[in-house]
Structure 1
Amino acid sequence: MALMSIIDLKPGAKLGKDVYTPLGGLLLPKGKVILPRDLDILRAFLIQTVDIDSNQTKQNLPSPSQDSKKQEIEQKREEDAQFEQIVRSAELTSFDEEYDKMIILIKKAFNEAGAFDIPIFELRTQLEILIIHIKKYQVLYFVPSSIKKEEYMYHNGVLTALTSYLLAQWCKLPSKDWVQVALAGLLHNIGNSKIDQSLIMSPNLLSDVEEEEVRKHTTYGYNILKQVKAINDGVRLTALQHHEKIDGSGYPLKLVGDQIHIYARIVAVADIFHAMTLDKPYKESQSPYLVLEQILLESFGKLDPKIVQIFIRRATQFHQGTIVRLSDERIGEIIFTDRDHPTRPMVSVEGTIVNLVAQRQLYIKELIQK
């Protein structure tokens, strides 16, 4: 066997030993013939060197140009086999377990961004595992089992990824875009890793200079992601554009309407929802139903109105029987939701029907039980 740097490694080389991830999982097995995709995987996991089968002569190495079709077929077969293994493994775990693993990984990626490459393959794999459990995820109801206010940014990223994945489906984007949109949601705030965290977490009103510095997270994020492989331009542009507004009042480029990438328009809706419904160091969480009403107001000139309407309609669908706490602290059960007023259902409180459409001073403060 011969130890070889990843920099010098070429497609066609055969591994002389198993390659493991930093977490101890098998990444590539002994005897594996390296494909172009495998080089991306090794770089994503920050592997520096591998052992190559020294008995393999240069003449025996397949030519990437001659055997590209064969390599593509083999790569697709291996990826399918890896995903089937992921599915089988995920069936033995719960949504909450995989969610917690995702938080650990995205926290590590944020903390190391700039110093190391983004571990995109590891992040994508864990995201796909989490998506396998997505039927257990309800946008309005899910609350992380353990969340610290100072970890708000990581939870916002993961929840925005999941909600963006659902929104991509609901908006009828091609299936090839769904995971990419989820990655866009996961990484949209990666530029915050280069901002002074005291500014990000500050409970005080920022000065103009401080506000301008925080706004740079969009361009920082784009610059971090533009060198990352295995993501498309929509993911990169989402980091840059998720604070743009339909009417041109956003930043950093003051784009208008369809000039904003569809991924960024989807992620903007999901991001705002979770930003307002999660506890932050400087602000308490708000009722998801009240937040939906505020997002509806934002859709006039700020957010994409079609995406907002789809989001509100689908997020509030089939919630009859949900136990809720009203803003006057009374407990009741949702018995009917009017399609024209999805955030203001009828609630049965001790035998009395409360129509939240008519009683505008009341709203659903908290979802207690589905």
Structure 2
Amino acid sequence: MDNISILQLKPGYKLAKDVHTELGGLVLAKGTVLLPRDLEVLRAFLIQHVEIESEAGEGKGTVKKETVTNSAAAASSFEQDYDKMIALTKAAFQSSVAAGVPILELRTQLETLFKHLNKYNILTFQPYGMKEDDYRYHNAVTVSLTSYLLAQWSGLPQKDWMQVALAGLLHDIGNVKVDPLLLHKPAPLTQEEQEEIRQHTTYGYQLLKNAKAINEGVRLTALQHHEKVDGSGYPLGLDGTQIHTYAKVVSVADIFHAMTLEKAYRRAQSPYIVLEQLHTEAFGKLDPTTVQIFINKVTQLSNGTKVRLSNEEIGEIVFVDRDHPTRPWINVKGQIVNLTQQRNLHIKEIITSS
């Protein structure tokens, strides 16, 4: 057994002892074979050193490294293709005004990324090492991935899935024509500044107007993703009967990721708190059917997820009540905490999924 620095850890090392936070919460259990995402969890909790199993018969300092599973390799491939998608999206956005939008290149990379969708968990995914200035590109790609899944869950025809994904990827492309100082301004915006920000919907439609290999739904999503079903949205004040289906799907994904991704001036919010807010928004603002499908599907995937509660206790989701999907049952040190009954508690943070 060897005590090694977090900086020396690599995927495949096997923990010889449980790893706990300063408050005593379990982060990773003894015997865990570390995957790339586990290293991120350890860094997130500011763990400095861990105990790793030594090879039998070897001298001190020789640690035991298990064969990294196919799962770890697949996770690595997903992260690599995700990073390529971010780079391509950034380049496409920055050149869109002068050179148009390279739809075919974006579509090809999306198709590659979709091969790893089983490694994408909407509730727990957080881009590693995201730069502050790259928020908009991470938002575009995560909204695209989530919209692709939500299109399937909503029963849209298969021919629409990729188009919805492109709508998610390009919904905010109009921001390239907005003053970046306004987009990143931490202080409240003036009325005039708000009006300029709102122009990104019109700018986006104009940028996509002559783009090939996308349908009108993609263009309308750029224009309509801030419209509300009660007519209170912008830029046209459309009601639910006038908003394109793609825009209804993308707007749900966009709000979720806008609130759960880290920003320079705002910490990421708990996905479960955001889901509860989405549920509230479904009454008059967002398409209620789309919101309900989204909440039900993403919470179905959460059994086994490690979470931190608002009282700082760490536990694992063991049961999701169909009638209260945002308030599951949590196993905390062998005790079941039913969040449906204990309304004073909520899930503050998702740590990782099992």
TM-score, normalised with respect to structure 2: 0.78
Name the CA distance, whole Å, in 2 between partners of 1:159 and 1:337: 24
- Residue 223 of structure 1: which of 176, 185, 206 is its match? 206
- 1:164 and 1:266 in contact (8 A); partners too: yes
Alignment of 1:196-275 (within 5 A): 196-275=179-258
User: Is residue 285 of structure 2 the alignment partner of residue 312 of structure 1?
Assistant: no
- 1:191 and 1:218 in contact (8 A); partners too: yes
Name the CA distance, whole Å, in 2 between partners of 1:258 and 1:143: 34
SS in 1 for 2:241: helix
Of 314-323 and 237-246, more deviation after overlay is shown by 314-323
Name the CA distance, whole Å, in 1 between partners of 2:108 and 2:76: 15
Q: What is the RMSD of the two structures over their aligned residues, measured on CA atoms?
A: 1.4
Aligned match of 1:128 = 111
SS in 2 for 1:347: strand
Runs (4 or more) in structure 1 with deviation over 4 Å come to 90-93
Question: 1:197-256: CA deviations, max 9, x gaps?
Answer: 000000010100010000000000000001101000000000000000000000000000
Name the CA distance, whole Å, in 1 between partners of 2:76 and 2:339: 40
Aligned match of 2:159 = 176
Aligned match of 1:279 = 262
- Residue 108 of structure 1: which of 69, 91, 104 is its match? 91
Matched pairs, number: 281
- 2:201 and 2:224 in contact (8 A); partners too: yes
- 1:184 and 1:238 in contact (8 A); partners too: yes
Structure index of larger Rg: 1
Structure 2: unaligned runs, 5 residues or longer = 1-72
Say if 1:305 and 1:129 are closer, same or farther in 2 by CA, change over 3 A.
same
Q: Which amino acid aligns with 2:146?
A: T
TM-score, normalised with respect to structure 1: 0.74
Name the CA distance, whole Å, in 2 between partners of 1:227 and 1:91: 37
Shift of residue 334, structure 1, vs aligned partner: 1.1
Name the CA distance, whole Å, in 1 between partners of 2:74 and 2:314: 36
Of 216-225 and 145-154, more deviation after overlay is shown by 145-154
Name the CA distance, whole Å, in 2 between partners of 1:145 and 1:280: 13
Question: 1:109-132: CA deviations, max 9, x gaps?
Answer: 111121111111111110111111
- 2:231 and 2:238 in contact (8 A); partners too: yes
Aligned match of 2:9 = none
- Residue 334 of structure 1: which of 317, 322, 343 is its match? 317
Q: Which amino acid aligns with 1:130?
A: L
- 1:150 and 1:280 in contact (8 A); partners too: no
Q: Which amino acid aligns with 1:142?
A: F
